[in-house]
Amino acid sequence: MNIQESVIGIDLGGTKILIGEVTKDGEVLHSKSYPSNTENQAKAVEVLLNALDDYSENIGFIATKQVGIGVGLVGRVNYKAGIWLEIEPGKTNPTPLAEILETKTGLPVRLGNDVVCATMAEKQFGWGRETNDFIYLNVGTGLAAGFVVDGRITQGGHFNAGEIGHAVVDIHSDVLCGCGRRGCVERLASGLGIKEEALRHLNEYPTSLLADNKAELTGKMVLHAAEQKDKLAEKIIDNATLQLANLIMNMVRTTDPECVILGGGVTRNELFFQKILANLQSNTIRFVTKGVVRSQLEKDKVGLIGAAVIGMRLGNEGGQE
């Protein structure tokens, strides 16, 4: 196998950094995972640089030439200037990460938000190949979306577009969100939200399967309990899927996509996915001709592949206009 060119992808998440070598066809030649530290950006960058050193020295590269680096990051990213603005609101320390990595490696570097990267992976190698108008909705620990309209992803004037987790879907909800509003979809339907909702209602269901695992409860456990027809879990999952369907239909009314792609661990659950579909109203989604579908890309690699896509500078997502 003689591969001429590859791109280095870096997916920096809340718990791990995935570094890998990716071809222009989206094939991951090799990758390695490192623990991340997102306590603050200075620490995150230090850990990232050490991980990159380890990868270069101990793993090495398969292709003859590396043509660039793409980095997917948690938080807000000024992709035009190559600046990682913040990990989350309140953890703000604008860091010229593209320049830092260019100086270190001599390669051109592009940065992007992690959900933007996943959206770009879909655009280049997933369902997004079939249409220029789609929405990628990630439902994992948190919840966010990427909007592609006329083949271009919308990032917003402050690089904060797609933070759809803070869309209110239940105006009567008393669940207070960190953003200051009540009834945000992330608090009700993300992995973390599902877990917190189950804990909040546990007292009403003392015989629930979840009562035994209160201390180490996860969203996944709530999903599995719903499959076993646990009443508490069913209540939480029924509401989460109803609210997600509301969110999807509101988004469809906003940008008129042909396809809505669901990514993230939570939507992999078959019962959860089917319940979302059951709550969609056919008239509202009549122009979503390619369907509300689940990502076919490998869940653990989609961020890495997306980072490599922005490293390839194939569209507006990587700063090339």
Task: Give the shortest CB-166-to-Zn ion separation in angstroms.
Answer: 3
Task: Give the shortest CB-243-to-Zn ion separation in angstroms.
Answer: 13
The residue among 177 and 297 lying less far from Zn ion, judged by its C-beta, is 177
The residue among 163 and 230 lying less far from Zn ion, judged by its C-beta, is 163
d(CA 19, CA 10): 5
What DSSP character marks residue 163? -
Task: Give the shortest CB-172-to-Zn ion separation in angstroms.
Answer: 16
What DSSP character marks residue 190? S
The residue among 63 and 164 lying less far from Zn ion, judged by its C-beta, is 164
The residue among 165 and 311 lying less far from Zn ion, judged by its C-beta, is 165
Task: Give the shortest CB-167-to-Zn ion separation in angstroms.
Answer: 8
Strands in 76-78's sheet, in edge-to-edge order, are: 76-78, 83-88, 91-95
Q: Are 304 and 272 in contact (CB under 8 A)?
A: no
- Write the burial class of residue 159 (CB in 10 Å: 0-12 exposed, 13-18 middle, 19+ buried): buried
Q: What are phi and psi of 111, to 5 degrees?
A: -110, 155
Q: 286 — alpha (psi -120 to 50), left (phi > 0) or beta?
A: alpha
d(CA 185, CA 304): 26
The residue among 51 and 266 lying less far from Zn ion, judged by its C-beta, is 266
* Residue ranges that bind Zn ion, judged by CB under 5 A: 166, 177, 179, 184
The residue among 148 and 184 lying less far from Zn ion, judged by its C-beta, is 184
d(CA 113, CA 101): 16
Task: Give the shortest CB-73-to-Zn ion separation in angstroms.
Answer: 21
Q: Who contacts 285 (Cβ-Cβ below 8 Å, separation ≥6)? A: 248, 249, 252, 292
Task: Give the shortest CB-47-to-Zn ion separation in angstroms.
Answer: 29
